[in-house]
Structure 1
């Protein structure tokens, strides 16, 4: 057998494609389009993060030993206080396909800002590798060149609250919940948040609409979009004005952190796939290296009063 160091770059790339070809693939085709509760195996990369024995955030499987989540979900540097669940469908009762792992290492983005939620991304290393099953699989991550047009339909998943007006642990959804939400271009998204002096940057991805969105407890979880037979994670649930009040939620844009992720996980199998949605809306051109299109005003159905009445931009944590 040839030694790895003797292989050409093209050969290594081909091997990597073979090793990672199953990212974002759902082995069990049990999906009911439009369903609220996900069935077992629908989102096999979905992770439930428990802190001090209760669910606080979501995350995603990116390989057998690493989970991707939001930096603001890391509320303690003590790894012993976290337990990650895989293949979990319900937060109450028996989960026949569930496995759990403790955490051995936490890597937060060094430039994470807890005030502005810039660079809201973190990696968690498992105490031991997990084994892939029909209910536990890795997701594909959006590559640097990915394009998410305004209006692209994606899905958010998690166990968050149904409403902001509840404060008890029992208010969390027991079964993994799924909701289809449209991407909102950064320029349009900025017009919502500028009223409360929140800056939307190229490291962020917005999605959501009136009556559909994420809520507290969904933090760290994915917004994922389908391309062919694969699901590609475009964002990590970060912050917003919960819950589904007509103002889009904000996610950390995964594609902008490809170098940071691969830099820390060199030598491990993490799959980045270019995502390109259909569309021509110039709002999608908002980015680090492009000029933003002309400013847009928020849609008329979202009142100015509703926006400015928000006193505190709540992170999507319980």
Structure 2
């Protein structure tokens, strides 16, 4: 048995990541159908008495989440639920694991929310199926332009101060990426760093909220889903002109790789959808014309 274990080849996560066989929608409702987001996990702690944050499965034994979820919890107090859809009902495909190790980014700053990222190593590996699969992660070269469609999921409050009603079904909604310069204008100059990204509607109405922290923001590229962000912070929940702010996953490829070491997550270079390229060109042209006018070159 020992020789077999020593010779066993590591899993190539790229063969599995980002595939959601039971998710066939482009635009959907509010309650997420069972198996739609098979990388979504629910973090529970004895400290909080139940669900308190989300996360995403990135290979067969590591979960990605937000550092701000973990300031007061120990590994021994955590329980990770995978394949879960409802917090109160029956989850036929659910499994759970304890946490062996918590790894918080060494440069995480709780005052600025910069480097809001952490890894959890599960107590034992999990087996992939249609309801439990890893998500692909945005590689360092990824580009998410303004307007890129992104899906956010979680069991958090449905609006500020209003908990998710029973039976607590996983929620999903789609929001567009907001450029960092625009987001800084809306939220306060300099508060959104290059390690962050924003998403939301100008009129509000769709956003993450308390309890969604640590969960994934994903975008679809061809046949796979790529995690671009980790739910991090924001002002209020779904307020107008107040996009949600997410940890920019692509900035942490090296850190994640160095911490995990083997059976690495599937990193995928996300590129702008071709349908958005004309929009990007027009926006660049508008900025160039504005600059030329200011410099009296036109």
Q: Using structure 2 for the length normalisation, give the TM-score.
A: 0.85
Q: How far, CA to CA, are the matches of 2:282 and 2:210 in structure 1?
A: 28
Are residues 284 and 255 of structure 1, via their aligned partners in 2, closer, same or farther at CA, if it must alter by over 3 Å?
farther
* Per-residue deviation, residues 221-270 of structure 1 (Å, max 9, x unmatched): 01100000100000000000121002100000000011100010112231
What is the match of residue 178 of structure 1? 172
Question: Which residue of 139, 146, 152 corresponds with 2:142?
Answer: 146
Confirm or deny: 8 A CA contact 1:144 1:255 kept in the other structure: yes
Q: How far, CA to CA, are the matches of 2:95 and 2:282 in structure 1?
A: 42
Structure 2 residues not aligned, in runs of 5+: 1-8, 285-289, 292-298
Look up the SS of the partner of 2:213 in the other structure.
Answer: coil
Are residues 263 and 88 of structure 1, via their aligned partners in 2, closer, same or farther at CA, if it must alter by over 3 Å?
same
Confirm or deny: 8 A CA contact 2:88 2:167 kept in the other structure: no
State the Cα RMSD in Å: 2.3
Are residues 40 and 193 of structure 1, via their aligned partners in 2, closer, same or farther at CA, if it must alter by over 3 Å?
same
Are residues 225 and 284 of structure 1, via their aligned partners in 2, closer, same or farther at CA, if it must alter by over 3 Å?
farther
Structure 1 residues not aligned, in runs of 5+: 1-14, 286-292, 295-318
Within-5 A mapping of 1:121-200: 121-166=117-162, 174-194=168-188, 199-200=191-192
Within-5 A mapping of 1:1-318: 19-29=13-23, 31=25, 33-52=27-46, 53-166=49-162, 174-194=168-188, 199-209=191-201, 210-246=204-240, 247-278=242-273, 279-280=276-277, 281=280
Are residues 224 and 19 of structure 1, via their aligned partners in 2, closer, same or farther at CA, if it must alter by over 3 Å?
closer
Q: How far, CA to CA, are the matches of 1:19 and 1:46 in structure 2?
A: 16
Are residues 38 and 128 of structure 1, via their aligned partners in 2, closer, same or farther at CA, if it must alter by over 3 Å?
same
Q: Using structure 1 for the length normalisation, give the TM-score.
A: 0.79
**CA deviation after TM superposition for structure 1 residue 115, in Å:** 0.6
Are residues 32 and 96 of structure 1, via their aligned partners in 2, closer, same or farther at CA, if it must alter by over 3 Å?
farther
Look up the SS of the partner of 1:129 in the other structure.
Answer: coil
